[in-house]
Amino acid sequence: MLASLKSCAIYGLDSFLVDVEVYISSGLPAFEIVGLPDTAVRESRERVRAAIKNQNFDFPIKRITLNLAPADIKKEGPHFDLPIALGILAATEQVPASALQGYSIVGELSLDGRVRPVNGILPMAIEVKQKGLKGIVVPFENAEEAAVIKGIEVIGVKSLQEAVGFFKGEFKPDDIIPEVMDTVTTEFEGDFSEVKGQEVLKRALEIAAAGHHNLIMVGPPGSGKTMIARRIPTILPSMTFEESLELTKIYSIAGLLSGRSSLIKKRPFRAPHHSITPVGLVGGGRIPKPGEVSLAHHGVLFLDELPEFSKEILELLREPLEEGKITISRMNATVTYPASFMLVGAMNPCPCGYFQDPFHECSCPPHKVHNYLSKISGPLLDRIDMQVGVSPVAFSDLEKANSMDSATIKKRVELARAVQLERYKGLNIFYNSQLTPALINKYCKLGRAEKLLMKEAFQRLKLSARAYNRILKVARTIADLDQSENIKERHLAEALQFRNLDRYFQNIRT
């Protein structure tokens, strides 16, 4: 008695089809799983046995051999319970084996036979569609998530009984209308207009949002760094459908979607605490999960009080900052997750916060200032497009009426982003910060006057080659905000402003 059906496994951000084969033979009662299962899959046996019995089906007292193919890829997680149970029921003719064909089946079982939600449904549904299957049987709570993918049947089931009922033609699931998830972070609301003064910083954030540039702000405590950072989501451009889908896959695999919604429409804003672990930041674990750098994909990763993070943690940011993705090595495989985030860092200029402050005395001995800043390594600083020195808020600014609101800024950001999307069509990049040196040569051409200006600045500010390219990218964004085809002197001059901390850091370090 042999039965075979399909399920899905997750690898990195993608899913692939798995054949679940059940063979029941006479001999001493046993239940064996082969085909590189992990512990959670092996534990399936107990859940499947209990679930089958508790839902009033017969569990065969025979020798059961279960194979998960292809055998060379590790099968992880508890979502094979339901296909395994159905395979056993098909091999013992309690459900028609032919009816299972054309469907992929996933779901965890509880001991009493209820079907529990699982992670990674969205990439599974994508795979089912790509491979041309009829549909996917998923836990009821995950049905909306799967239904984002059009053109396949989505069957949400609450129990093993319901799944069997569906294949016998006795149970018809409801139609599912996926709901759109508006946001992943609702905690930080507010508006740019509430931030008084700090015009340079606000302008810098507008440019950063328009070109998806990394930015670091350095300034005394109480100047509004945290306040303004939390308002960045209000000026970020809306996501394209491709961006939404890619981000939602990450949240699906991280298990942060189930039961809440289906497609994430707003860019994420992640603000991990400085006590975060390496796995928490970049991802990993026994069943690998994306970390904060991937949860911030296409959005913002905000690191407040940057020097409080350990050197080890900060160095981990180098790879994703450079590549826009992160590779995690594991015992028998490596997985890669997208991690193209906009890094926003905030820090005081020294431990007490008042180094070189016009109004306060700094109480830090020089070596403390040096140690504090040396946490931010040269290579990390090199990968940051924009640096902004923040001054204390002036009293006269606090008296002023509210300034520009987020909606107005967002409109300009959207226009600048549209220019970039159009220009980079077919190149598989979406914004200026992704420009490679070759593309910089092509899209950031300078006229004579502009070249001269850059030459002067390069010598005066002792810029590195990396910094030079970053300035061009930022200037490109400023020109895009200005709806200007060419980068002009005024655009370059403004971009150069956001590089003035290089020397400050260099001086302190040496």
Ligand X SMILES: Nc1ncnc2c1ncn2[C@@H]1O[C@H](COP(=O)(O)OP(=O)(O)O)[C@@H](O)[C@H]1O
The contact set with Mg ion (CB under 5 A) reads 226
The interface partner of residue 393, options being Mg ion, ligand X, none and the CB cut-off 5 to 8 Å by kind, is: ligand X
Q: Rounded to whole angstroms, how far apart are CA atoms 445 and 442? A: 6
**Closest CB to ligand X belongs to which residue?**
224
Specify whether the CB–CB gap between 57 and 116 falls below 8 A.
no
The interface partner of residue 349, options being ligand X, Mg ion, none and the CB cut-off 5 to 8 Å by kind, is: none
Residue with Cβ nearer ligand X (15 or 198) = 198
| CB 217, min distance to Mg ion, A | 10
Specify whether the CB–CB gap between 298 and 246 falls below 8 A.
yes
Specify whether the CB–CB gap between 63 and 26 falls below 8 A.
yes
| CB 221, min distance to ligand X, A | 4
Residue with Cβ nearer ligand X (230 or 412) = 230
| CB 225, min distance to Mg ion, A | 5
The interface partner of residue 415, options being ligand X, Mg ion, none and the CB cut-off 5 to 8 Å by kind, is: none
| CB 198, min distance to ligand X, A | 5
Residue with Cβ nearer ligand X (37 or 345) = 345
| CB 407, min distance to ligand X, A | 18
| CB 275, min distance to ligand X, A | 18
Phi, psi (degrees; rounded to nearest 5) at 449: -60, -40
| CB 344, min distance to ligand X, A | 12
SS (H, E, C) 178-221: CCEECCCCCCCCCCHHHCCCCHHHHHHHHHHHHHCCCEEEECCC
**Residues 495, 496, 501, 506, CA torsion sign:** positive
| CB 344, min distance to Mg ion, A | 12
| CB 374, min distance to Mg ion, A | 21
Rg of the chain on CA atoms, in Å: 27
DSSP track, 291-325: -HHHHTTTSEEEESSGGGS-HHHHHHTHHHHHHSE
DSSP track, 58-122: PPPSSEEEEEEESTTS-B-SSTTHHHHHHHHHHHTTSS-GGGGTTEEE--EE-TTSBEEP-S-HH
Residue with Cβ nearer ligand X (50 or 200) = 200
DSSP track, 277-293: -HHHHHEETTTTEE-HH
- In DSSP terms, which residues pair with 345 in a beta bridge? 216, 303
The interface partner of residue 223, options being ligand X, Mg ion, none and the CB cut-off 5 to 8 Å by kind, is: ligand X
HSE (CB half, 13 Å, CA atoms) of 7? Answer: 31
Q: Which residues bind ligand X (CB under 6 A)?
A: 195-198, 221-227, 393
Residue with Cβ nearer ligand X (241 or 395) = 395
- Element (H or E) spanning 386, and its range? strand 386-389
The interface partner of residue 420, options being Mg ion, ligand X, none and the CB cut-off 5 to 8 Å by kind, is: none
**Residues 357, 358, 359, 362, CA torsion sign:** positive
Residue with Cβ nearer ligand X (100 or 501) = 501
Residue with Cβ nearer Mg ion (225 or 267) = 225
Specify whether the CB–CB gap between 143 and 174 falls below 8 A.
no
Residue 370: both structure tokens together: 């040096």
Residue with Cβ nearer Mg ion (222 or 259) = 222
| CB 388, min distance to Mg ion, A | 14
The interface partner of residue 197, options being Mg ion, ligand X, none and the CB cut-off 5 to 8 Å by kind, is: ligand X
C-alpha distance across the termini of the chain, in Å: 76
- Element (H or E) spanning 25, and its range? strand 14-25
Residue with Cβ nearer ligand X (119 or 198) = 198
Residue with Cβ nearer Mg ion (338 or 353) = 353
The interface partner of residue 276, options being Mg ion, ligand X, none and the CB cut-off 5 to 8 Å by kind, is: none
The interface partner of residue 195, options being Mg ion, ligand X, none and the CB cut-off 5 to 8 Å by kind, is: ligand X
